[in-house]
Amino acid sequence: MSEYALEAEGLSKSFRGVPAVRDVSFKAPSGGITGFLGPNGAGKTTTLRMSLGVIAPDAGHVRLFGGPPTMARLDRVGFLPEERGVYRKMTAEAVITLFARLKGVPAATARQRALAYLERFGLGESAHKKIKELSKGMAQKVQIIAAIAHEPDFIILDEPFSGLDPVNQQVLEQMIREQADQGRTVLFSTHVMEHAERLCDRIVLMARGRKVFDGKVDEALAVVPRQVTIGIASESDAAPLLAPFGAVERVADDADGAAVWVVRLHPGSDAQGLLKACVDAGLRLTRFEPLKPHLHDAFVRLVSDPADAGDIQAVQPQPVEG
């Protein structure tokens, strides 16, 4: 097996003279989970379509499993497109079986997998209902199953969490992890950073048709200054003590009247050292909360235009152990 399931080099595409994707290169390592992230309109879907040969790039080329995207190689790919749509007059079981059969799965095996996946996604009782009788979310789950029922080596999901309730989002996350644990490669696009942060080995961040970051999640988070919120039961100026550790800001007092300071740590400084300095100085601390950076913070920092972050859904910052 090739080291990379997908290698895109210099992809560009314009529609009616308007650039949609500009010189984008990235790789999806085999057996890993890669997140393709960015706000709506960033060029994610166009890039994925070019990667699978659905539309031809104006420039650049793609390698799938180490070679050109031939039909034989494309049969090893499962794809969930952004535009949802399955045959509304067919039953859920029939739709999934059909898609698996189109990828070469024997009829009996395809039917067995369809029923097993429907049960797994909570649709066992709806297996013989027509798609038009299902809710939008249920129909979406059928389409997700149809994309993976032939057990592809490479799974590409375009905004797979959109339209699913939190319970089924969790089921889908678990399914993605299981597929990767079985050695399959997963690439999914999303504008919800929370899913990518929990699932991905690597991420590609897009904005305005360009790639702005390509690397491991930890590498993206490293661009965000670590932040500590400190409550001090004193009106004395703590800035001189805190300043050597980072940028200091005094914010509103908390409910107990303690002074609240925010320290954005310098590279090389850590929360433990800051806490030790406060204790050694005899400060009466009412709170000491290191805040974990998140992908939303990294995206905002990596993108020069704040408007690009408008469609990105963030994870709420959470206190972490010091």
Residue 22's domain is classified under what CATH number? 3.40.50.300
Same domain, 184 and 287: no
Q: What is the pLDDT of residue 316?
A: 41
- Domain extent for 180: 4-221
Half-sphere exposure of 51 (CA within 13 A, CB side): 33
Q: Tens-of-pLDDT digits for all 322 residues of the chain?
A: 579 999 999 999 999 999 999 999 999 999 999 999 988 888 999 999 999 989 999 999 999 999 998 999 999 999 998 766 677 899 999 999 999 999 999 999 999 999 999 998 889 999 999 999 988 888 888 999 999 999 999 999 998 988 788 888 888 899 899 999 999 999 999 888 888 888 998 999 998 999 999 999 888 888 888 889 999 998 788 999 999 999 999 988 887 788 999 999 888 888 999 999 999 999 999 999 998 888 888 888 887 554 454 554 544 434 444 3
Whether residues 55 and 203 fall in one domain: yes
Is the residue at 79 inside a domain?
yes
| Residue 302 falls inside a structural domain | no
Residue 320 domain flag = no
Note the pLDDT of residue 46: 94
- Whether 166 and 252 map to the same domain: the answer is no
Residues 76 and 196 in one domain: yes
Q: What is the pLDDT of residue 315?
A: 44
217 and 231 share a domain? no
Q: What is the CATH number of the domain that holds 240?
A: 3.30.70
Both 248 and 148 in a single domain?
Answer: no
Claim to verify: residue 94 and residue 207 sit in the same structural domain? yes
Same domain, 249 and 208: no
Residue 311 has a pLDDT of 52
Which residues, listed in sequence order, are joined to residue 62 by a DSSP beta bridge?
Answer: 8
Residue 89 lies in a domain: yes
User: What's the structural domain count of the chain?
Assistant: 2
Does residue 214 lie in a domain region? yes
Instruction: Please tell me the distance from the alpha carbon of residue 251 to that of residue 264, in angstroms, as a whole number.
Output: 13
Same domain, 269 and 181: no
Residues 39 and 45: their CA atoms lie apart, in Å, by 11
**What does each C-alpha distance from 35 to 136, 158, 195, 205, 213 come to in angstroms?**
25, 10, 9, 8, 11
Q: Do 245 and 133 share a domain, yes or no?
A: no
Domain boundary among 221, 239, 271: 221
Tell whether 150 and 247 lie within a shared domain.
no
Q: What is the pTM of this model?
A: 0.79
Q: Of 221, 255, 273, which one is at a domain's C-terminal end?
A: 221
Q: Are residues 35 and 125 in the same domain?
A: yes
Tokens of 147: 């994309």
Q: Would you say residue 313 lies in a domain?
A: no
Evaluate whether residue 308 is within a structural domain.
no
Instruction: Among 221, 236, 268, identify where a domain stops.
Output: 221
Domain for residue 45, yes or no? yes
Q: What pLDDT, on the 0 to 100 scale, is given for residue 84?
A: 67
Q: What are 88's two structure tokens?
A: 């509304």
- E-strand stretches of the chain: 4-15, 18-29, 33-37, 59-64, 77-80, 154-158, 185-190, 202-207, 210-216, 227-232, 246-251, 259-265, 285-291
> Quick one: pLDDT at residue 314?
46
C-alpha 28: how far from chain center:
13
